[in-house]
Each structure stands twice: as structure tokens, then as C-alpha cells.
Amino acid sequence: MQATVCFAHGKESGPWGRKITAMAEVARARGLGVVSPDYRFTRDPDARVEHLLARDLPEGSGLVLVGSSMGGYVSAVASGRLRPRGLFLLAPAVDIPGYPGDTTPRADVVDAVHGWHDELIPPEVVVGWARRHGTRLHLVDSDHALASALPWICRAFDAFLEECFG
């Protein structure tokens, strides 16, 4: 089975927003399969986790989960059951009220990217989460949307995929 990258978009976004579209191109250029479920049917983060877990995805070494904002929460929680090869989180909604699931990252390779100027999820919260879990964290000069850092994110994602799959 082909290795797959599964994206989880944020609360206010959609399955093929700017970040996901750009990162999907990076994954496809490496010959990886790409899926991006639509979670807009609910704003409940745990219902989104169940929606992701209900998909027919490879578990373990053939899977990378990528999540942005609420999708970061979804991907982190789902990693507990799917045990993906990689977990790549962008401005993840971790350690904040209303998101009660266990966001302990359970993957072989874990990277998180967060903006110093994130107006929704304070950088200090994600720094604390990353420290507690020993997770690699990249802090960039951007806001919650991370749009200004997208070229760098795509390069970092390509290096991440190289680490995951060679």
C-alpha cells in the first residue's frame, strides 16, 4: 500500500485551503498519496477525531498525519490510535479549554510549527506542550494562519517527509 499523508484542516478552514494545497504538492512530488477529509460538518473537535479514525487509512509506518489549528488537535489525538510514522502540526490547538482529548504525540517523527504572533493559541502554550512531550518545535515570525511562513513550512515539510520515508 502506498504511504499516505492525511491532512486535518482547522475550524474555520476547509479541506483544500492554501496551506494544505501547498503541502499536498510537496507530498505528491515525493510519490505519496494525499487525503484531506472535510470536517466542516461539525465544530466539535472530538467528532472530528472520530471522523478521521473512521477513514480507511494505513496505520503505522505508511501514514503521516498533518493538522492545522483544530486539525492539529485532531491529528495529535488520532495519533494515539493510528501510531503514524509522522505527525506534523501547524499552530496546534493543544492544551486549551474545550479540547479535552489526549494530545500526547504518538508517532516516530514529530514536528510542530507555531507563530510567535499567534492571536488564538498563545505560543507559550505550545512551547509548554512541546517541552512536556519532547517534541521538536519551530517558532516562526507569523500569526495563527502562518501564511507568511508558508514557503518555509513547505521546505520544512519536505525535510520532515525525507526523515519519515527517505
Contact 78, 102 (CB under 8 A): no
CATH 3.40.630.30 fits 4-165, yes or no: no
Is 41 in a helix, a strand, or coil? coil
| Sequence-distant (≥ 6) Cβ neighbours of residue 34 within 8 angstroms | 4, 5, 7, 24, 27, 28
Is 153 in a helix, a strand, or coil? helix
From first to last of the 166 residues of the chain, give the pLDDT tens digit.
689 999 999 999 999 999 999 999 999 999 999 999 999 999 999 999 999 999 999 888 999 999 999 999 999 999 999 999 999 999 999 999 999 999 999 999 999 999 999 999 999 999 999 999 999 999 999 999 999 999 999 999 999 999 999 8
Distance CA 149, CA 22 (A): 12
Please report which helix (H) or strand (E) contains residue 20, including its range: helix 18-29
pLDDT at 59: 80
pTM for the model stands at: 0.97
| Sequence-distant (≥ 6) Cβ neighbours of residue 54 within 8 angstroms | none
> Domain ranges in the chain?
4-165
